[in-house]
Structure 1
Amino acid sequence: MKNILFFGDSLTAGYGLVASQAYPSLIQQRIDAKELSYKVINAGLSGDTSAGGVHRVERWLHDKIDIFVLALGANDGLRGIPARETSQNLQTIINKVRHKYPEAKIIISGMEIPDILPGRYAAEFRALFRELALKNNVSFIPFLLEGVVGMRHLNLPDGVHPNAEGQKLLANHTWAVLERVLE
């Protein structure tokens, strides 16, 4: 049995939903349906930032990790943390995973923030995920929340967190990339 670690924030944790509705659980259902020998581990923590992830990633690296899905950064964007700082933190997380498990395959989930924010921040924030994926030669999900953000019927009443139907789209975006990485 190989392990897939989903390391993220409330989007990964399935904020406001039962665990089985979070997209990592939906990915496990697809893996089981295909009778693949992978176990999904959901290390989503609501409110987490890339800086928080740097400090907590090592506690998740005790069990062998074969595939690491990095889905952090949304809260950095919401808080206006400089894109360079977010990028450095995510790179540190990647480095820690690679140091412990050099053979692990890594997938980065891209995040975006609305272009309504002034200046170049939204563009810099969007680009940092693609740049990290290219720099580290890892698989890339362009925008985890594509088709979900801003869609009232796919989000909880807070308008920020995907509901069960929205989580299905997150699973689809992730599966499109993950399926190619599975052996």
Structure 2
Amino acid sequence: MNDREGNRRGAHRRDFILLALAGCAAMPSKAAPAPVVLVLGDSMSAEYGLARGSGWVALLQERLADQKMAATVINASVSGDTTAGGRSRLQALLQKHQPALVVIELGGNDALRGLPLQGTEDNLARMVQQAQAARAKVLLVGMQVPPNYGTDYARRFAALFETIAKAHEAALVPFLLAGVADGPEPLRLFQADRIHPNARAQPLMMENVWKVLAPMLR
């Protein structure tokens, strides 16, 4: 092979490589999947007594779409669930959905059943740790109980959410029912059982969560 023929073949090879590279650059890249927001809650989040799609979790998905924030909300809430129940379910949910953010709304049923506060605190703390170990951000949603449970119990129960959030550097919604249970006409915003918020209360609950959750996704 003479030098001229070798140069010609070399030029053809370079042209082929350049064309291949150009083709690769022109191929559209696969879009990254939308981050998942996993909501682990009880009846407050599971649309108990409400029409499907009217609960605060469904309203959260609508708000994300309106704000053009790419995120998929998975509602893994179960009516009647306790912190022990949520703890037993969380690991499988983390493996299945691989969420970027976990919202933990549990504890109310522990209080209704008079369960020891130390157990509630331990379960919530463990769930926060599990989610963080899976590289998810955590938003802990606080709850309060009426004073007829005893002022000391009510105070300690409300405080444990802040204690856990601070200890594990998780975000916190202090009280899911702010503006609902402590509003000027609270009975207007509850179902007949006076425990579960009605449809009118759901936008207020969603806003309480949204104020803390939105910056975490941005």
Q: Who is 1:72 aligned against?
A: 106
Distance 1:148 1:179 in 2: 21
Distance 2:72 2:150 in 1: 42
Percent of aligned positions that are identical: 36
Q: Per-residue displacement from partner, 1:119-170 (whole Å, max 9, x unpaired)?
A: 6211110100000110011111010011222711111111111111111111
Considering only CA atoms, is the larger Rg found in Structure 1 or Structure 2? Answer: 2
Segments of 5+ residues of structure 2 without an aligned counterpart are: 1-33
Segments of 5+ residues of structure 1 without an aligned counterpart are: none
Counterparts of 1:1-183 in structure 2 under 5 Å? Answer: 1-61=34-94, 62-99=96-133, 101-102=134-135, 104-118=136-150, 120-149=152-181, 151-183=186-218
Whether the 8 Å contact between 1:111 and 1:142 is mirrored in structure 2 is yes
Cα RMSD between the aligned structures? 1.2
TM-score by length of 1: 0.94
- Deviation beyond 3 Å, 4+ runs, structure 1: none
Q: Which moved more, 1:159-168 or 1:149-158?
A: 149-158
Distance 2:81 2:138 in 1: 19
Distance 1:162 1:14 in 2: 9
Aligned length: 181
Distance 1:5 1:19 in 2: 18
Instruction: Please report how far the alpha carbon of residue 118 of structure 1 lies from its aligned counterpart in structure 2 after TM superposition.
Output: 2.8
Whether the 8 Å contact between 1:13 and 1:19 is mirrored in structure 2 is no
TM-score by length of 2: 0.80
In terms of fraction of residues, the more strand-rich structure is: 1
